[in-house]
Amino acid sequence: MLTGEYLVLKGATALALPLKLGQSLDVDTLGSDDNRIYWEAYKPSTVSNQQSAISKDTSHDSTLTSQGVMPWFYVILNKCDFSVIETDDKEKAERLSNILSKVKSLNENVFNDSHDYRFSTLLDFDPQWGLGSSSTLINNVSEWANINPYQLLDSTFKGSGYDIACAKADGPIFYSCQRSVISSQYLSKAIDFNPEFKDNLYFVYQGHKQNSANEVKTFLDKNKDYTKEIESISEISKIIPEVTTLRDFCYFIKVHEEIMSSCLDRKRIKTYYSDFEGEMKSLGAWGGDFFLAATEWDEQKVKDYFENKGHNVIIKYKDIVL
């Protein structure tokens, strides 16, 4: 999400960018019937293998590792009540158990046959990067179960749903969600956003993941009136696609940062890089994951600068945005 983080949860219009990196899901029924669900999650073994493809035969870790991917999570669940039988990460296992339980409540026909299941997921990126792995999982599982992904999201992570809209989009979108006690409405609109200055834009990984679910809950629990901020952020979201110069783009993302800094009571990301010539914008939950850097520096100077700051994952806009 380029603009509108947090306030999109309150109805603001956000500018969202689908990525070239994503997550796949393969589901196989097994010949056995032990009331088991076997879940295996894989990721690239190196950054250079982000685009690795996975075969449908995912029965052996060694096969996958030879293809440039490696396991990062597994769990065996009871197919009847989704209780955890065995796992290498209890917290993730309980979260997945809850998701599949909600899937069952939204479609009673799933998991009713006399087969065990093997689910295999493959990320094109490191799960620590915070590029929407949870929401894309929600979208993929919903497609498999033939249920509404936004309903599943509402009953699990309580996010804005923009990741789901991006998963279904072919390019940048305006996105908003309107929630009420009775119902929720999710709106996305395809837009033309292909900035002439995209070679001056970089996404930089801060080196640690932020827990989006916890941050969203904290923000919503504040229950403050953000009417003016929502109007301002929505206006900026709509202006940015019309901007034609890097200078103007930097101006508007700076204004966006100042507004959100006040809302969240946090410092702007730029304050930690005062010697950077250009502008920066926090992304997602702030305080972790990636941030955007906009500068007239050449690519090598950008890489040297951030690597000297301890940031080794620097991705050009055109290399990651769909």
The model's pTM? 0.84
Is-contact 168 139, C-beta < 8 A? yes
Beta-carbon count within 10 A of 310 CB: 8
Top CATH class, 7-17+192-320: alpha beta
Burial of residue 256, with CB atoms counted within 10 A of its CB: 0-12 exposed, 13-18 middle, 19 or more buried: buried
Residue with tokens 């679910």: 213
1-49, pLDDT tens digit by residue? Answer: 999 999 998 999 999 999 988 889 999 999 998 999 999 999 988 654 4
pLDDT score at 132: 66
pLDDT score at 53: 33
Describe the crossing of helices 90-106 and 133-145 by its angle, rounded to 10 degrees: 40
**What average pLDDT does the segment 156-168 reach?**
85
Domain ranges within the chain, ordered by starting residue: 7-17+192-320, 23-154
Helices (H), ranges, 146-272: 149-154, 162-167, 212-222, 227-239, 246-264
Beta-carbon count within 10 A of 132 CB: 26
**What average pLDDT does the segment 289-316 reach?**
96
What percent of the chain is predicted at pLDDT more than 90? 68
Mean pLDDT of the chain: 88
Lowest mean pLDDT across 26-40, 53-67, 115-129, 237-251: 53-67
pLDDT score at 274: 94
